[in-house]
Chain A
């Protein structure tokens, strides 16, 4: 998949996690557990889900708990990237605070995270 598809995949998955938490009035963590529990075992879908949650869950929880939306989460975790000279790609309305400020704040929140050692392709 191209970088664009990886970005879309991230925004869709984080959106579903966020909206599941909203619909069930639960935490982001509970929402991720719920999503993985819905997936079938075939094709390693359920185990891949739990693997992704174990890798990126802590950061997603931190960022969603700080009311960051899926665009911010995916740019912070570098599944989405704004290349130099290219427009910022976002699905949801931009946050009220300036984008750069929001992104920097989010990056600070996950700065010490072990996640970011994985290259984006993972």
Chain B
């Protein structure tokens, strides 16, 4: 019954299992945590390696001897300008303060999505499942389309870009410098298990913008009574302080860390409960209320606290979420670190709902239809847009300056090797 028990598959299964458990690329010949393979924690999750046989070559590092001989940081800029003998990396990037983006997140940050095409019989066709293998080998996540580190065009027609693409647009020297270290089920309490997958050399690499966005699992679980399992403010304080100490010992000086608050998830029931679930649309026989009840009954709900007909429980869950957000705010205002500045940002789901309604959208259109829980691509990109504008307004130094050499970089190196 277990395909991995077949002798010839044992080894590869072990490797895949390790990659997923440790959130590091399955295919990484030089073990620098960057890969030339897309899924299984490959370049869909972190910048594509441009030389997977040399562990000193990877995205985000400071250039080796101004990259005269090779592209040591995979930003596609290297060699010497024949006109004046100046290395291109020196000419175009020196002083532009390149920086990377790193997300420490959960399934929302990884952009968890079960495609509705896979379960909607009325629209099902041969092409419906073409992306299933990619999704399965990315743990049903789509980080390549996510709000923080997305670099591919997604399925929504929204114009907003991910934070990574905005950083790249601002300074083309940031090309490929992204890491999406998100994991389904991640919370403040289990981040420790995979934070070692963060790849940043304090001396050799550029500074980074790190976003800590554990937005649900500290109050979300599938228990019949979810409250006892919820993280307390004291537990959160202790773990997040530990996480920040880890970051201070790994991030290059001049980095920035953002703590994201938690949402008010009562949004889900309020906007979905009486709508039909994709499985119930053909015969109008299954609403999200029934779907949530089914998940909770089986104790596999991603968030019983908010995906419940019990108003008291929903309110309790939101209260705990708010307490945890206040705790994060307190940490951000009271703790100082040598290698990074620390900020707190609200998870502004209400605000992006208003923005979406201003554009003529409906709130329920911001949630993944199959699980009725995760923010979808539109929501993630609107959240990215709001975060970017807030940072640009309040802390412009975080994003770095516009690189005046962007046009020249484009002219000489085109798409810089793409992604």
Q: Which residues of A contact B (CB under 8 A)?
A: 2-5, 7-8, 11-12, 15-16, 19-20, 22-23, 35, 37-40, 42-45, 87-93, 118-119, 121-122
Contact = CB atoms under 8 A, between A and B. Distances in A.
B259 to A, nearest CB: 32
Interface string B1-29: 10100000000000000000000000000
Contact of B279 (A3, A12, A38, A88): A12
Contact of A92 (B128, B129, B285): B285
Given A23-B122, A91-B294, A122-B1, 20 more contacts: A2-B300, A3-B298, A4-B222, A4-B299, A8-B295, A8-B300, A15-B119, A16-B119, A16-B121, A20-B124, A37-B126, A38-B126, A38-B129, A39-B129, A40-B129, A40-B130, A88-B297, A91-B286, A92-B286, A119-B1
Given A23-B121, A38-B125, A89 B297 contact: yes
A38 B121 CA distance: 11
A72 to B, nearest CB: 14
Interface residues of B, number: 29
B132 interface: yes
B304 to A, nearest CB: 12
Contacts of A87: 297
Interface centre among B121, B130, B295, B300 (most CB of A within 10 A): B121
Given A38-B126, A40-B133, A45-B133, A22 B300 contact: no
Interface in B248-294: 279, 282-283, 285-286, 290-291, 294
Closest 5 CB pairs of A and B: A4-B298, A19-B121, A4-B300, A89-B297, A42-B133
B300 A19 contact: no
B82 to A, nearest CB: 46
Contacts of B222: 4
B132 A5 contact: no
B352 to A, nearest CB: 30
Given A39-B132, A45-B133, A89-B297, A23 B282 contact: yes
Contacts of A39: 129, 132
A31 to B, nearest CB: 8
A38 B294 contact: no
Contact of B121 (A8, A22, A44, A90): A22
B291 to A, nearest CB: 7
Nearest to A86: B297
Interface in B91-137: 119, 121-122, 124-126, 128-130, 132-133, 136-137
A11 to B, nearest CB: 8
A110 B129 CA distance: 31
B306 to A, nearest CB: 18
A19 B122 contact: yes
Contacts of A37: 126
A20 B124 CA distance: 8
A39 B136 CA distance: 13
Contacts of B125: 38
B137 A43 contact: yes
Contacts of B137: 43
A11 B298 CA distance: 12
Contacts of B283: 19, 22
A8 B291 CA distance: 10
B16 to A, nearest CB: 11
A89 B298 contact: yes
A43 B39 CA distance: 13
Contacts of A15: 119, 279
A43 B16 CA distance: 13
13 contacts: A2-B299, A3-B298, A4-B299, A8-B300, A15-B119, A20-B121, A20-B124, A22-B283, A38-B128, A42-B133, A43-B133, A43-B137, A119-B1
A39 B295 CA distance: 26
A23 B282 CA distance: 9
Contacts of A12: 119, 279
Contacts of A16: 119, 121, 124
Contacts of B136: 43
A83 B413 CA distance: 63
Contacts of B279: 12, 15, 19, 91
Nearest to A70: B279
A109 to B, nearest CB: 23
Contacts of B121: 16, 19-20, 22-23
A37 B34 CA distance: 36
